[in-house]
Structure 1
Amino acid sequence: MDGGGRVVEPLGPGRPGGAVARPSRPEPGLLGALLRSAALPRFARRRRASVSVPLVRRIPRLSGTVLALGFFTAIGVYGLVQNGDYADFVESHGELRDIAARGIGLGLDKITISGIARLNEADLLGAAGISNRNSLLFLDVAKVRRRLLDEPFIKSAEIRKLYPNGLSIAITERQPYALWQLNGELYVVAQDGTQIDTMRDPTLVDLPLVVGEGANLEVASYAALLEAAGPLRSKIRAGMLISGRRWTLKMQNGLDVRLPEEDAVDAMRRLVRLDRESGLLEKDVLTVDLRMPDRVILRLTEEAVAARAEGTKKKIQRGVKGIET
């Protein structure tokens, strides 16, 4: 080391801090010169030897079991199809994809239903086509909604999936509005005329009754007549739609009131006034015809006709006797 602290002698293996020198292996010929003068291209460099892993160790554990189960399941399904039993299997347990989804916790375990009043949950789920064979993952919400809206007693429906295993069903029911009689059968209809069901509920007997072809579609106009009837409403038994154009009211005492095709509400108000002034509906008449705005045409009962004829006869007889004297 000189006075400046610099080492003037080469470090050798015998000196402290010296590195052990490895003898260099001479590179033969031109290749050796190239290797010493420049780096080899990437494709010519020696690759590091990779560690070889046996194939058995690369396959995940339990893969054999899974493959075996899948194989035997496929064989079982094939056998069911060949024997014609697959449909029975699906009917009892559901489709394979639903079974798999239920197995990982994506079944239908929590179903919330709101909006039902006259229906029950079992009937609603049956109409929707939902059972414990379904899974939430593969449930077709649009199809469920279409099935529900196909039911006449359901006006609207909203279906929502609540993962992992919940389903929400919110519906709006059509409310019974009137009874409709057609060809001897009695039906319950909604305000828009939709036939909800056959008449089986005795609590609905006081609903307005309409009769005839297409009368269910005119329940709103009939309701307007009942509103205009006021004190006479309780005396009206039913409304018969004639030729799809006008109403004839069937009264509780058997009397018929024929209303015009237009301005039927005004004609009803006129009937209320006539009955209040003269007790028209309590007289011996079969028909009150209000189709003409400036007159009322009455058809008497047979008894009334006979009594009227007898009275007329007596008047004539009295008149004749008076002349003879």
Structure 2
Amino acid sequence: MATTSRKASTKRSVKAPRPRQKVRQISVLDRVFQALPFSEEDIQRAATWLIIAAMTVLAFAAAQWAGLTTAAYLQYSDLAARAGFQVERVEVTGMERVDQLKVYDLVLAEKDRAMPLVDIDKVRADLLQYGWIQDARVSRRLPDTLAVEIVERKPAAVWQRDGKYSLIDAEGNVLENVKLGEVGDLPVLNGADANRQAVALNELLDKASALKSQVTGASWIGNRRWDLKFKSGETLALPEGEKAAAEALLNFARMDGIHRLLGRDLIHFDLRDPERAYFRKAPKAAPANAGSETSSAKNGGTQA
């Protein structure tokens, strides 16, 4: 009886074999996602936001096409004006030489407008159309002030061509037309397109700083070279080409330092030939009339 019981328990302890599980095949796309440093949830979240962003852009484009955004913006501007955000004051600083009437005519056109409607970039661009204005800064000072800061150009020379005179800055920008008697002691540049060579001329004169303060004018000859005019009345003809002109000017500065060429009886120096220099003397003054000398001596005059 015991033997039969052990056999029965042995039979019950034997487990039935498990069914064979199928091996899951991993696709190439799954391997790519597994290689990324993002989880599947992150990717799904990013895709959701991308879809939302695309729908937002499409909705905005449709609203703009239908004119809804413009109407909403105008309504917002009207509400801002009612709330006190409207241009009531205009402050302009930095003006000395610029035509103030032109500036105020432009800036005051923004007065009584709602602050959101003021296009400060356009105001700045319009101001920069004036020759005297080098830069302009336009800003809103809430709730009711439009501030404009002007940076003016500085006159550096006078440009003469075809009987016309214009103030120009160091970069050759035309500031305004002037009369000959209004130029003061500014150097005068003669010739067509001479203003466009102002920067190059200044760099050339910087190479001979000892002479720069004595130069009162320059003529741009044949659109290729310079003739310099000195305070003492002499003219220096330089060769064409930046390098050749610089070498000739330095050579003249050395000769003037040794022999004192300026302020003597010489009126013209020609250094266009690299091998030699040509000097021209001033014409001798005609001798004074003997009779007038005698008369002058009788009247107490001094004979030179």
Please give the range of the TM-score, normalised by the shorter of the 2 chains: 0.5 to 0.7
**Is residue 188 from structure 1 mapped to residue 158 from structure 2 by the alignment?**
no
Aligned mates of 1:191, 1:125 — CA distance in 2: 27
What amino acid is aligned across from residue 206 of structure 2 in structure 1? E
CA distance in 1, matches of 2:212, 2:142: 54
SS of 2:284's equivalent? helix
Q: Partners in 2 of 1:168 and 1:133 — Cα distance?
A: 14
Match of 1:261 among 234, 240, 243: 240
Contact preservation (8 Å) 2:215, 2:228: yes
> Relative to 1, partners in 2 of residues 1:282 and 1:191: Cα closer, same or farther, differing over 3 Å?
closer
Measure the CA separation in 1 of the matches of 2:119 and 2:251: 57
Q: CA deviation at 1:186?
A: 1.8
Q: Deviations for 1:10-47, whole angstroms, at most 9, x for unmatched residues?
A: xxxxxxxxxxxxxxxxxxxxxxxxxxxxxxxxxxxxxx
Are residues 221 and 121 of structure 1, via their aligned partners in 2, closer, same or farther at CA, if it must alter by over 3 Å?
Answer: same
Task: Give the 5 Å matches for 1:111-260.
Answer: 111-119=90-98, 122-128=101-107, 130=109, 132=111, 134-199=113-178, 205-260=184-239
Letter paired with 2:247: D
Residue 296 in 1 paired to residue 280 in 2?
no
Distance 1:164 1:236 in 2: 53
* Matching residue of 2:254: 273
1:296 Cα offset (Å) = 0.2
CA distance in 2, matches of 1:127, 1:214: 31
- After superposition, what is the alpha-carbon deviation per residue over 1:179-231, rounded to whole angstroms, capped at 9, x for unaligned? 21122222111222110112379896233321111111111222234334444
SS at match of 2:158: strand
Distance in 2, Cα, partners of 1:200 & 1:129: 31
SS at match of 1:223: helix
Classify the secondary structure of the residue corresponding to 1:303: coil
Residues 1:275 and 1:200: Cα distance change in structure 2 (over 3 Å): same
* 1:107 paired residue number: 86
Q: Which has the higher contact order (CA 8 A, sep 6+)?
A: 2
Deviation at 1:170, TM superposition (A): 3.0
Matched position secondary structure for 1:269: helix
Does the 8 Å contact 2:88/2:112 carry over to 1? no
Q: 1:285 is matched with which residue?
A: 266
Amino acid at match of 1:150: Q
Which 10-residue stretch deviates more, 181-190 or 170-179?
Answer: 170-179
Equivalent position of 1:12 in the other structure: none
User: Which of structures 1 and 2 has the bigger CA Rg?
Assistant: 1
Q: 1:267 to 1:128 in 2, by over 3 A?
A: farther
One-letter amino acid of the counterpart of residue 294, structure 1: E
Distance 1:140 1:231 in 2: 50
For the structure 1 residues 246 and 206, does the alpha-carbon distance in structure 2 shift closer, same or farther, using more than 3 Å as the test? same
1:300-311 aligned at under 5 Å gives the runs 300-303=281-284
1:19 aligns to what? none
RMSD, aligned α-carbons? 3.5
For 1:140 and 1:169, locate their aligned partners in 2 and report how far apart those are by CA, in whole Å: 13
Partners in 2 of 1:162 and 1:279 — Cα distance? 61
Which residue does 1:83 correspond to in 2? Answer: none
Return 5+ residue gaps in structure 1 as ranges: 1-97, 307-325
Measured after TM superposition, the shift of residue 249 of structure 1 is 0.9
Q: CA deviation at 1:102?
A: 6.1
Per-residue CA distance 1:27-79 (angstroms, 9 max, x = gap): xxxxxxxxxxxxxxxxxxxxxxxxxxxxxxxxxxxxxxxxxxxxxxxxxxxxx
**SS of 1:281 mapped into structure 2:** coil
Q: Closer, same or farther in 2 for the Cα pair 1:119/1:135, shift >3 Å?
A: farther
After superposition, give the CA deviation of every residue in 1:225-264 in whole Å (9 maximum; x if it has no partner): 4334444344422111112211101233432210111222
Instruction: Give the direction of change, closer, same or farther, for the CA distance of 1:265–1:300 in structure 2 (3 Å limit).
Output: same
May I ask how many residue pairs the two structures share in their alignment? 210
